[in-house]
Homo-oligomer: A and B are copies of this chain.
Amino acid sequence: MNIAVAQSGGPTCAINASLLGIVKEALKSPEIDAIFGSVNGIEGIIKNELVNLKDLVKTSEDMALLGQTPSTVLGSCRYKLPTVEENEQIYKTITDCFDRHNIKAFFYIGGNDSMDTVNKLSAYYKKIGMDIKVIGVPKTIDNDLCETDHTPGFGSAAKYVATTLQEIVCDSSVYNIKSVTIVEIMGRHAGWLAASSALLHAVGLKAPHLIYLPECKFSIDQFLNDVDQKLKQYKSVIIAVSEGINLGINQKAEVHGADGFGHVALSGVGKQLEKLVEEKFSVKVRSIELNVLQRCASHISSLTDITEAESIGSAAVAAALNGQTGKMMTFRRVSDAPYTLTIEATDTANVANKEKNFPKEWINDEGNNVKDDALPYFLPLIQGEQKLKIENGLPVHFKIDNILD
């Protein structure tokens, strides 16, 4: 039998490590012959665009490079699989591809949208009685998947956020003046990644002095009051804010260039808060958007995250060979210290299209910071660094010709 694997959704540092885990486990499994990689997520199955991963990931060096390469070497997609009722033909097209290549198990590395695909596809094969296993492997820097302690990709993103924020603290405090620095962190609905900035408290810093998450109602008056309080206490006030907070005003800002053309653009919350602070206080204000760097900075990935991402990929192959389907692999945390995990599986119906928010009990009463109670959760996830292969002073990346060009 052959297997296929695809990567979907937004980039993280750990998606290729999960691919590596799948490839390694498949190579160890005598019942698996070819390992196909689907180009651009499930779209590669639909368009019959497959690559032979055994030809591409051969040496131990290939494997090491795959593990240190961010994003998705197979490409990605944002494809929403219709229901069978909406479009049965697409299911037949997918099945044709699986049949043509004798693919008996399909692994989809992705977030909650991808788990919806796994859910629908596995249900379809159960219904029509075809023996094709479909297993989901979680990934997202947002850490918002249900049923799993955390998601691969989150630990590396949190390590980047905390490392970078610690450097921003050094950068922002050098002049003998009052200042406010606002750092905008990804997370549209769930504040896990912005909350992880509280890791600085674990190394003795007071920063971030304020943390705002989408889980709390945001009030501009309260925000300005908070800043006022902190400016009385600290020279350089550092604020971490999730991109997903709702300012309660229309966040669309119209930008007029002096040449007269007008545009409407969604200005980030960091920039908006910068303006609010600038208007109210006579201090230096700066906003910093961590942007895509927080999801792709594999040069400072968490070794724990990368190792776990590989393990959960391997476990997915073992689960499929064990007869499971319609499952997403999960982490269950046995203990914080010593940090111990087991890998389990949950029905994708428990995960698909659902979101897990940052726990209210880890947010302080004022709703403007994260309690130290959350630190034992975050800390194990950012431990360790990869030994990177570096050439010409730059990390070497794994690349499959013609896919990402």
Listed in ascending order, the chain A residues whose CB lies under 8 Å from chain B are: 11, 40, 43, 69-72, 75-78, 159, 162-164, 166-168, 170-176, 199-200, 202-203, 234-236, 249-259, 261, 263, 265, 267, 272, 275, 278-279, 286, 288-289, 291-293, 295-300, 302, 379, 382-385, 390-397, 404-405
Partner of A255, one of B255, B259, B394: B255
CB <8 Å contact, A259 and B250: yes
Given pairs A202-B392, A257-B272, 13 additional interface contacts (CB within 8 A): A11-B171, A70-B170, A75-B174, A162-B394, A168-B293, A171-B296, A249-B259, A250-B257, A255-B275, A263-B278, A288-B291, A300-B300, A383-B393
- Note all chain B residues with C-beta closer than 8 A to A43: 176
CB <8 Å contact, B71 and A299: no
What CA separation (Å) do A15 and B75 show in the bound complex? 41
Partner of A385, one of B71, B76, B390, B396: B390
- Which 5 A-B pairs rank lowest in CB-CB distance, beginning with the nearest? A250-B258, A382-B393, A71-B170, A173-B404, A171-B296
| Distance (whole angstroms) from the CB of A356 to the closest CB of chain B | 23
CB <8 Å contact, A174 and B72: yes
CB <8 Å contact, B167 and A299: yes
CB <8 Å contact, A176 and B252: no
- Note all chain B residues with C-beta closer than 8 A to A70: 167, 170-171
What CA separation (Å) do A72 and B217 show in the bound complex? 38
Of A11, A170, A235, A383, which is in contact with the most chain B CB atoms at under 10 Å from its CB? A170
Partner of A71, one of B171, B300, B302: B171
- Note all chain B residues with C-beta closer than 8 A to A259: 249-250
| Distance (whole angstroms) from the CB of A33 to the closest CB of chain B | 28
What CA separation (Å) do A75 and B235 show in the bound complex? 12
Closest residue of chain B to A248, judged by CB? B259
Closest residue of chain B to A235, judged by CB? B405
What CA separation (Å) do A95 and B243 show in the bound complex? 51
CB <8 Å contact, B258 and A173: no
CB <8 Å contact, A405 and B234: yes
CB <8 Å contact, B292 and A163: no
What CA separation (Å) do A153 and B93 show in the bound complex? 56
CB <8 Å contact, B393 and A302: yes
Partner of A256, one of B164, B253, B288: B253
CB <8 Å contact, A167 and B286: no
What CA separation (Å) do A172 and B70 show in the bound complex? 11
CB <8 Å contact, A159 and B263: no
18 A–B contacts from the bound complex (CB under 8 Å): A43-B176, A75-B175, A76-B174, A78-B175, A166-B394, A167-B293, A168-B293, A170-B296, A170-B397, A171-B296, A199-B393, A203-B392, A203-B394, A253-B257, A299-B300, A300-B300, A383-B392, A385-B390
CB <8 Å contact, B170 and A404: yes
Closest residue of chain B to A47, judged by CB? B176
| Distance (whole angstroms) from the CB of A131 to the closest CB of chain B | 31
